[in-house]
Structure 1
């Protein structure tokens, strides 16, 4: 009598799942999202299709321009959310950086020369047309002349930008504001005639006042995840740069620019806090919950895990603004508040996945969906700085959940198949007394299960291998044992144990 064998013991399966996650961490380390100082860079996967089924480097190349054209006039609010979708790890956060300190000096040198050429337009007596033309030229040198056409909180341009364009402009704005501050400091340090010094202050006031238009426009946008990221990205440059300019040019609290900056900062902080309060609701409802019928990774996983990473690149602002420490004498930002927020948001995403998985009614499909998505969440967390903001046991818990999903899948999908052989599983249906032989019933159940699951998809190759192995190690030994114990029963043509195993090896390709 053959020795009984069954599915791999829990410890072995858990070890294999743990190895999959560990390898994902190593794979993402070489070119991971958080390797660059700005928090940008490539996604944890290499260019092309990632192993969790989401695309990476080429994802927004062919589609991006078309999407911009389609949504150029769409309001960035809760009522128009299509341009919020497909949040990529690299999207919204690309920072334009100069290649070297020498290149930076060259650019600042050119900007200082332009500054000296523009100063006469800001000397008294004022010529409004000349000043407007000079201001446009000055802002164009920093690639932010578009701020002059940006509506403020009082109304103006109510056409909100698509998410990606909003992110690009916020990044350009932050870089330009820092560049202007450096050039003004260098210019202020030069030996200037009193009239030139006064004109320099006028140019600084005009350009920094124009830059506040984007701050007001972001604060006035409808509540959305992109608005929160934009507010966080603008908070530090705004709160740090304008006080420096005020001291540099001796602008008192009654000067129009510091007063406007204070009002803009208050509006931005309010917008960020409102967005922070709404964030949990966004995670549960912001993304359209059309369920993938093959059980693969839901696009919201890529969107939200990328979003959480982007949120953390403004850690100081996140701590001071969203988590409620109002600057002043507050302690230096630490990881504890951010750690709790990240863990809560990831748990909120997982709960939303679990709730919506109930729509997948076919036996076992729900478990495959949760296995794929738990793996994708864990992989993206393990391959980025998110892992530093999650509890020490967080990854181990997800590995155990993945093992549990595999076990539940086996119980739902394949234990009923094996039970047709009269053992090795529960009997899920009452069969008429011996109308069909156990082997015939087994063949029918096996074909039904294979036919239904042939379209299911497990994108990660290592995870797919583990799942196939678990199925094979449950079904094939039970079938082989049945044939050995019933010598008078002949296997049907094409139904040897090896042929069944070969058929199972084609599952989960989608």
Structure 2
């Protein structure tokens, strides 16, 4: 409405001046006098918009309102030439202050809503909220970077956004402790959310952070977290079954170790095959890591038993007591298909 009313006034003024070129300044003066009430309303709306406190769930309306305000502010300034420059500077200052408050509201919203989590949901709603927020900022990149949070200091948009992401990572990690009784599930939860965030903001985030140092810091932190969580997840999945293997023991113990391995591995598989890893790439990475961790030792034990000739491996395999290399590979590929 602000934009429409401003454009209507501009059109009226333009038509008045076009009718006769002489006395143009006089006509503009008369127009401003008779349109004084409407101009006052425009000024009031502009001030009201700039002073409005926006919640974290109203990012899009705020940015759209500010885009409209920035479009018409120069036109309003022409109508209200009697207003001091400070008046319009104050509007811009109000907008920047409101935007900084919005950033604070976003962090608080993430913190206060992180506890709301359903066990069957792989991606936390706050991760999705952050992604949507970043996409909204991306749609108004020039506004947020050049007008609402300009510069290259701690008040710049890149720094503000980095603080929001850091807040999300912190509370996400803290919230993952709900799975502390099952460490692998905790790592799966963290990987699901971090990978989803990175995938959905790839490319856009670099443009918004803009500062090379911040971008590098963000990338390095995520790489370290991915490495840590992936290695820990693999270790938690493999250790119980892998601990049963001893390729250097005598043949009878080797056979028992393979049977024990199968029992332990089946328990792990039955529990984790229904876990959700929505991203196809991440799911395959985790499967491959488990396979690379567990298959070499198992293959050596299997070969040692087979080469000893002291038990018929085909009978053991047929009865389901132990895996072949091929069936173990196939089973590993069934992880995380929930």
Give the structure-2-normalised TM-score: 0.74
Distance 1:182 1:195 in 2: 13
Equivalent residue number for residue 371 of structure 1: 191
Within the candidate set 217, 229, 233, 1:405 is matched to 229
1:505 offset after TM fit, Å? 1.2
Deviation by residue 1:231-269 (Cα, 9 ceiling, x = unmatched) = 45434643663453342x465239xxx999888767655
Within the candidate set 467, 471, 490, 2:286 is matched to 467
Q: Does 1:272 align with 2:91?
A: no
Deviation by residue 1:15-62 (Cα, 9 ceiling, x = unmatched) = xxxxxxxxxxxxxxxxxxxxxxxxxxxxxxxxxxxxxxxxxxxxxxxx
Task: Indicate the structure whose relative CO is greater, using CA pairs within 8 Å and at least 6 residues apart.
Answer: 1
1:408 offset after TM fit, Å? 0.5
Equivalent residue number for residue 119 of structure 2: 293
1:334 offset after TM fit, Å? 3.9
Q: Does 1:216 align with 2:48?
A: yes
Equivalent residue number for residue 354 of structure 1: 173
Distance 1:423 1:367 in 2: 30
What runs of 5+ residues in structure 2 fail to find an aligned partner?
A: none
Distance 2:46 2:28 in 1: 28
What runs of 5+ residues in structure 1 fail to find an aligned partner?
A: 1-143, 145-172, 324-332, 425-433
Asked whether the 8 Å contact 1:232–1:272 carries over to 2, the reply is: no
- Which structure dedicates a bigger proportion of its chain to helix? 2
Question: What SS does structure 1 have at the residue aligned with 2:122?
Answer: coil
1:403 offset after TM fit, Å? 2.6
Distance 1:417 1:200, change over 3 A: same
Asked whether the 8 Å contact 2:276–2:336 carries over to 1, the reply is: yes
Q: Structure 2 matches for 1:427-506, cutoff 5 A? A: 437-487=256-306, 488-489=310-311, 490=313, 491-492=316-317, 493-494=319-320, 495-506=323-334
Q: RMSD across aligned C-alpha pairs, in angstroms? A: 3.9
Q: Structure 2 matches for 1:114-263, cutoff 5 A? A: 144=1, 176=4, 179-180=7-8, 183-184=11-12, 186-191=14-19, 198=30, 202=34, 205-206=37-38, 209=41, 212-213=44-45, 216=48, 219-220=51-52, 224-227=55-58, 230-235=61-66, 237-238=68-69, 241-247=72-78, 249=79, 252-253=82-83
Distance 1:234 1:380, change over 3 A: same
- Indicate the larger mover: 391-400 or 460-469: 391-400
Q: Structure 2 matches for 1:307-326, cutoff 5 A? A: 307-311=133-137, 313=140, 315-316=142-143, 321=148, 323=149
Distance 1:292 1:387, change over 3 A: farther
Asked whether the 8 Å contact 1:420–1:442 carries over to 2, the reply is: yes
Asked whether the 8 Å contact 1:421–1:439 carries over to 2, the reply is: yes
Q: Does 1:283 align with 2:110?
A: yes
Distance 2:332 2:32 in 1: 76
Distance 1:443 1:271, change over 3 A: same
Which is higher, the Rg of structure 1 or of structure 2? 2
Distance 1:301 1:204 in 2: 48
Number of aligned residue pairs:
312
Question: What SS does structure 2 have at the residue aligned with 1:190?
Answer: helix
Give the structure-1-normalised TM-score: 0.51
Deviation by residue 1:249-292 (Cα, 9 ceiling, x = unmatched) = 465239xxx9998887676555334333444323322x353335
Distance 1:297 1:355 in 2: 15
Distance 1:509 1:182 in 2: 61
Equivalent residue number for residue 14 of structure 1: none
1:354 offset after TM fit, Å? 1.0
Distance 2:17 2:31 in 1: 14
